[in-house]
């Protein structure tokens, strides 16, 4: 029988990794064919651009990795940072993959018995909720990205 930790990590992979989701788009699947120009376009409704959404995911994955003790990961200096050209779009994608990998490694290294514990930093929920919310956060913003691509 699988563990709760493994089930939560599977959910994170399904929400993020291309071709791992059961029936819906994943973060990587949703940005696979997005050009730098498309990523930088802000919709007339004033919503965030695809590039801003990706940088937001990087920003928060780095904060979550920090709750596991990983500090100093490369990423945007501020939340919702825009991408403006090919280089900044590729940097955002590379940082997204790196921050996600560190977050997953941190979750895999966590002892199953500590899932009900909270990180040392104040204001965090238990680790099991952080993992579940990470998958939900990815799914939510993937939906926004897919909508913007249409």
Domain boundaries, the chain: 4-149
- Smallest Cα–Cα separation from 138: which of 15, 8, 7, 31? 15
Pick the CATH number of 4-149 from 3.40.50.2000, 1.10.275.10, 1.20.120.450, 1.10.10.350: 1.20.120.450
- Smallest Cα–Cα separation from 31: which of 64, 6, 57? 57
Q: What is the DSSP letter of 21?
A: S
* Residues constituting the chain: 150
Q: How far apart are CA 74 and CA 7, in angstroms?
A: 28
Q: How far apart are CA 67 and CA 117, in angstroms?
A: 12
Q: What is the DSSP letter of 20?
A: T
Full pLDDT tens readout for the chain, 150 residues: 479 999 999 999 999 998 776 677 899 999 999 999 999 999 988 899 999 999 999 999 999 988 888 877 889 989 999 999 999 999 999 999 999 999 999 999 999 999 999 988 788 999 999 999 999 999 999 999 999 997
Cα of 141 vs its chain's centroid, Å: 9
| pTM over 0.85, yes/no | yes
- Smallest Cα–Cα separation from 57: which of 120, 132, 140, 148? 140
């Amino acid at each position: 029988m699988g563990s709760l930790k493994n089930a939560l990590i599977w959910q994170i992979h399904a929400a993020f990794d291309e071709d791992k989701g059961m029936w819906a788009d994943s973060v990587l699947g949703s940005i696979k064919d997005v050009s730098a120009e498309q990523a930088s376009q802000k919709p007339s409704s004033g919503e965030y651009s695809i590039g801003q959404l990706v940088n937001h995911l990087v920003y928060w994955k780095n904060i979550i990795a920090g709750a596991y003790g990983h500090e100093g990961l490369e990423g945007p200096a501020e939340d919702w940072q825009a991408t403006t050209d090919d280089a900044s779009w590729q940097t955002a994608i590379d940082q997204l993959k790196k921050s996600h990998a560190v977050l997953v490694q941190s979750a895999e290294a966590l002892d199953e018995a500590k899932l009900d514990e909270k990180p040392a930093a104040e204001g965090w929920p238990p680790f099991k909720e952080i993992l579940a919310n990470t998958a939900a956060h990815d799914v939510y913003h993937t939906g926004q990205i897919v909508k913007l691509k249409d």
